[in-house]
A and B are shown apart, each in its own frame.
Chain A
Amino acid sequence: MTIDLILFLVLSLVAIATALGMLLSRNAIYSALFLVLNFITVAVFYLLLGAPFIAMAQVTVYAGAIMVLFLFVIMLLGAESLPKAQVLPWQKPLAITLAVLLSAEAAFLLVTRARPEGQILHPEDIANSMDNLREMGMVLFNQYLLPFEVTSILLLVAMVGAIVLTRKEKGEQK
C-alpha cells in the first residue's frame, strides 16, 4: 500500500463519519460543524487529485463563507437550544491523542517528502505549480468567459433577492 492510498482510506473514513455525524446529530450547530470538517476533507481530496485551486476555493467559499452563513442563521433563529454543558470524561484524552496523531502524520509527510537539499517535494510538481493556475485562468477567461459573467450576474441576483426577502415591508409591524 502506498502512502497515497493510506491517506485516501483514512480521509475517506473521516469524510463518511463526518457526513453521518451531520445526518444524525440532534443539534443543528453540531451538524454544521461536522459539515465544515467534511468540506475540509473533500478539499484534501481535491489536493490529492491535483486540483489546488479548487481545493482552496472549497475551503474559502464552502467551509468559510457558506458554513458561516449557516451558523449565523442557526444562531439567529435560536430554534435549537444548546444542551447543558456536560463534561465528557473521555473528550480531553481523545482530543490530545488525535492532535498528537495529526502532528505526527504531518511531520512524517513533511520529512519523507523532503529532498536532501531541503526542498519539499510536492505530490505532483506539475499539478501544483503556478503554471497550472495560469493555464486554468487562461481557460476560464477565454473559453468559459460567458458562463463566468453569467455566474456574476447570478450572484448579484441572489444578493438582491436575499436582501429583498429579509427586508421589512414599509409599515409592517414586527
Chain B
Amino acid sequence: MVPINYYIILSAILFTIGALGVLIRRNALIIFMSVELMLNSANLAFVAFARAREIAMGQPNFSGQIFVFFVIAVAAAEVAVGLALIVEIFKSKRSIDVDQMSSMKG
C-alpha cells in the first residue's frame, strides 16, 4: 500500500505544472489544457483523501469519488463552451495568442 502522502505530493506537483502552464504559455489552447491538468490533479487528491478516509473509517465511503465524478462532468461542460469561445476568437482575430486578446470589442 502506497502512503497517501505520496499521492498528495504527486497531486501538488501536477497542479504546480498546470499553474506554470497557465502562467508561461500564450497559446489559449495550451492554457486550457493546463487548466484541465490542474482539475485532474485536484481529482487525484480527492480520490486519495477518499481512500484515506475509507481506511480510517474501515468501511467504503463514496462521497469523494462522487465529487470527482461531478468535477469530470463540469470539466466536460467547461471544455465545450471554452473551445467554442476559442474558435470564435480565432474567427475574428485569426490568432489564439492570449496577448492579443486585449481589446474589449469583438
Contact = CB atoms under 8 A, between A and B. Distances in A.
A57 B10 contact: no
Contacts of A70: 29, 32-33, 79, 83
B7 A74 contact: no
B8 to A, nearest CB: 12
Contact of A139 (B1, B33, B62, B95): B62
A5 B37 CA distance: 23
B66 A16 contact: no
Contact of B80 (A50, A74, A132, A158): A158
Contact of A61 (B33, B50, B72): B72
Contact of B33 (A35, A50, A53, A147): A35
A29 to B, nearest CB: 10
B30 A31 contact: yes
Given A54-B47, A144-B66, A19 B37 contact: yes
A152 B58 CA distance: 33
Interface residues of B, number: 57
A121 to B, nearest CB: 15
Contacts of A162: 80-81, 83-84
B84 A62 contact: no
Interface stretch (A40-48, A82-90, A91-99, A104-112): A40-48
A54 B13 CA distance: 21
A28 B34 CA distance: 12
A53 B90 contact: no
A158 B85 CA distance: 12
Interface residues of A, number: 60
Interface in A1-17: 2, 4-5, 8, 12, 15-16
Contact of A57 (B13, B21, B72): B72
A13 to B, nearest CB: 10
Given A132-B60, A135-B60, 7 more contacts: A22-B17, A23-B25, A69-B80, A151-B73, A151-B74, A158-B76, A162-B81
18 contacts: A16-B14, A19-B14, A19-B37, A38-B40, A42-B40, A42-B43, A49-B51, A51-B65, A54-B47, A57-B69, A70-B83, A73-B86, A77-B29, A135-B62, A139-B63, A151-B70, A154-B73, A166-B84
Interface of A: 2, 4-5, 8, 12, 15-16, 19-20, 22-23, 28, 31-32, 35, 38-39, 42, 45-46, 48-51, 53-54, 57-58, 61-62, 65-66, 69-70, 73-74, 76-77, 79, 126-127, 132, 135-136, 139-140, 144, 147-148, 151, 154-155, 157-159, 161-162, 165-166, 174
